[in-house]
Structure 1
Amino acid sequence: MARGTMRRTADGQRTGTGGRARSGRRAAIGLAAALCLGTVDAGAPAAAQSLHVQRVDIIDPNGFEKPLVASTILVPMGWRSAGGVVWNPNTPCGGAGYNFDWQAGAPDGSSGVQILPMRQWMWDSAGYSAMSSCPSARIRRVADFLAALVQEIRPGARILDFRPRPDISKDYEQLNQTTPMPMGEIRSWVEAGEVLIAYGQNGVDMRESVSALVLFSLNRMQGMAGMPGMDFYSGVSFPAFASRAPNGQLDFRMTEMIRKSITPAPEWSARIAEHHRKIAGINAKGAQDRSRIIAQTGEDIRQMQAESWRRQQDSSDRIARETSEAIRGVETYADPNSATGTVELDNTYNQAWRLNDGTYVLTDDASFNPNATFGMDGTQLGVAQ
């Protein structure tokens, strides 16, 4: 497969290779990806231009009366997965009681990806947050959150690079709001970013990318009667995504393909929506107002995710679908064998195939032959109309 390896040279510059863009609208997207990931090695062998992936279910085993598929994700063939949705009714900060904690990796453990649990925190200028059950942290930027997260999951790791990810936060701009209040204002905003880190693991020099989307809130109260004004901050992260490999082997193109393939399952999404509504109703009857706000925020986020997913699946609304696709870097292909009749795959590859065993191949090889490469027949997928 064409690798998008981002490496640091002695002078701190990035070097690497990425993938070729498609024509038309997708060429522009491919160009943007090339600016981040580099350019493809035109001399790479054909086998290195194909990525064979399988669809894996992320399961919620305990949240409802039976296990449900919460999301699906595409990972390389042969990778093993573990984890899923984890429930804990005693989560701090008045949370919704569940979280994501899932990972998949190569059989030898040399490389893999993780979906990291959501996190919540608060901080205020008066010091009241120190007395709360919610973690207290003065984190007001996504870069600060990622720095703290890295030290939590990889103690001692070095941050080599940071970049904003407006492509990730674009779908959540509705959360950027400012509401004037009689004694101040309430403001919320979203930020997304990604870091590249380095650390040692069992004697191996590792590289890992970690990306995250965070919703920040500020309640600013003006001072009065000789009392100073106060700022109350809170933050909640969406499940972060991490991808690791030995130095020189971290494939950024594959990392993005996996991240963008995450698709919420409709039944689980509907059940979680009802769960959020119940929490909001209980809190509205007398629980702490802050818990109610967090529960409602979680439901707002879930509704936007669900609506985004519904728009993506609705091939009749092609303009809306392609706008969403362009933002997220995916293409919708017609796949009669899938449950919905379509499948979303990374749009930086020239071709997409479904093999007879139900797996997929993304490739830049114009002469790709699934039988010659993988020993089985397959069907090249066309773009959904």
Structure 2
Amino acid sequence: MHKSFHWVILLGVQFALASCSDNAGNSSESSTSLSGNFQEGNDYLLFERVRMIDKVGFTQPAEAYSLLLPKGWTHEGAVSWNNPGSSCEGTFSWMKARSADGKYKLETYPDLIYIWNSNPQLMQFYQTNGFSSPNCALKEPLDAEQYVKQVFAPQELGNPEIVRVDENPLVVEQMQQSNEKSMSELRQYGAGDMQFRQTAINAQVRWPDGTNGFIVLGTNVLETNVPNTYNGTSDKMYTTQITKRIVFRYPENDKEQAEHQFSVIMSSIRTNPSWSDAVNKFWKDARQRKQVAHIGRIRLMDEQTRAMGEAAIRKGNDRLQAMNSEMRSWEAHQNSQDRMHTNFIKTIREVENYQDATGKVELTSGYNHAWSRSDGSSFIMSNNPNFDPSAVFQDQQWKEMKKVD
């Protein structure tokens, strides 16, 4: 049962990658010499793409994902790996970003895995052995709203007032599709009597200091009936994954500006497919190896396991190098996990498609004009009809983007 417990945790971690992140180099800045009396933040907003780097899992630093942040924001983050065979194995990530004046803050939290079992002996075993990472804990299953109200807000966010909670059916639908794929893999391992329950919410909160915030997150609960061959009954095992935990904090009277910024940031998240493919391959290989142990060939996670991981990582490094020769075209498209970020913010503000020389880009609605330098890294949004960045910045690489379907 101990080995089964490990691969169920592993599967939970795979439901949604954050993905993942660490300090990354800032994109190149355009000229800052201005022409005219236009004020950044009022007349326009300049967004620059930042890169989040995994410095742990590969033989060389690998970009995990990227996103747009308003110019001048600082950011930090990390990607961590818990080894196969540990009590909380998987790949986790976090990121913090803030505006230069500290009034706006964005934080993405690592996924959490909660384990619970109806068997008292197994619960005692879990309690005695504990977990090797704060990303895993013992807790009864709960849905997204329960988690926000009972755990996240009071324990990690300073207990803000919860103003509003809305279910997000778009994200739930996408999570359900992902869970169906996970069910297919589990059945290959012989699992039978199991079911998923998925929930996702958007919440609005207010802190005592007057600042407000948006919270988005989802929960996946996997309930598995495990036959007890000793007494002929069955036990229920619950694996709950808390995923896509993101908080955006903003000044009390700046809700409209906050909606714009949060929407641009969320819809701009792009996971590096070369990185995610290598990560998923590594953990799928680990799960398959655990299945071999589960059916009777019990072996320790030793040199052969490490060699397996290194081979997957080498393949990932080869793909990372190939990516650079493809002009980073992957940032012009969203994979299914990135799409989930966009679906989260659609309940706050719709997004619109814009076209530049590199392809189609999703940006928040609410702005009448958008410009890019066709480098995939710099975008300007404005409602001022007289603002033209090619003249303001004296940089002819700025071109206005066209709205497309």
Work out whether the TM-score is over 0.5. yes
Q: Is the 8 A contact 2:57 2:81 kept in 1?
A: yes
Partner of 1:84: 78
Cα offsets for 1:141-174 (capped at 9, x unmatched):
1111223122332233332221112233333321
| Displacement of 1:241 | 1.2
Cα offsets for 1:254-311 (capped at 9, x unmatched):
212211211111221222122222222332221699xxxxxxxxxxxxxxxxxxx989
Q: Distance in 2 between matches of 1:365 and 1:109?
A: 26
| Displacement of 1:84 | 3.0
Q: Is the 8 A contact 1:121 1:236 kept in 2?
A: yes
User: Does 1:61 pair with 2:55?
Assistant: yes
Partner of 2:214: 209
Partner of 1:194: 202
Q: Distance in 2 between matches of 1:184 and 1:206?
A: 48
Q: Which one-letter code corresponds to 2:264 in the other structure?
A: M
Partner of 2:93: 100
The correspondence for 2:355, drawn from 312, 325, 334, is 334
Q: Distance in 1 between matches of 2:111 and 2:83?
A: 15
Q: Distance in 2 between matches of 1:196 and 1:325?
A: 17
1:376–1:129 Cα change, 3 Å: farther
Aligned residue pairs total 308
Gaps of 5+ in 1: 1-44, 290-308, 315-321
- SS in structure 2 at match of 1:64: coil
Q: Distance in 1 between matches of 2:367 and 2:70?
A: 15
Partner of 1:50: 44
Cα offsets for 1:322-345 (capped at 9, x unmatched):
9x9889654444333x5xx44333
Identity %: 18
Q: Distance in 2 between matches of 1:356 and 1:225?
A: 65
Q: Which one-letter code corresponds to 1:359 in the other structure?
A: S
Q: Is the 8 A contact 2:356 2:401 kept in 1?
A: yes
Gaps of 5+ in 2: 1-38, 297-328
- SS in structure 1 at match of 2:59: coil
Compute the RMSD of aligned alpha carbons.
Answer: 4.1
- SS in structure 1 at match of 2:254: coil
User: Does 1:113 pair with 2:106?
Assistant: yes
User: Does 1:344 pair with 2:347?
Assistant: no
Partner of 1:154: 157
TM-score by length of 1: 0.66
1:332–1:95 Cα change, 3 Å: farther
Partner of 1:171: 174
Partner of 2:333: 313
Partner of 1:362: 381
1:344–1:125 Cα change, 3 Å: same
| Displacement of 1:52 | 1.7
Q: Distance in 2 between matches of 1:279 and 1:116?
A: 25
1:236–1:344 Cα change, 3 Å: same
Q: Is the 8 A contact 2:199 2:220 kept in 1?
A: yes
Q: Distance in 1 between matches of 2:109 and 2:331?
A: 26
Partner of 2:140: 138
The correspondence for 1:284, drawn from 291, 296, 302, is 291
Structure having greater relative contact order (Cα 8 Å, sep ≥ 6): 2
Q: Is the 8 A contact 1:121 1:235 kept in 2?
A: yes
Q: Which one-letter code corresponds to 1:231 in the other structure?
A: K
Q: Which one-letter code corresponds to 1:253 in the other structure?
A: H
Q: Distance in 2 between matches of 1:80 and 1:130?
A: 44
Q: Is the 8 A contact 1:325 1:331 kept in 2?
A: no
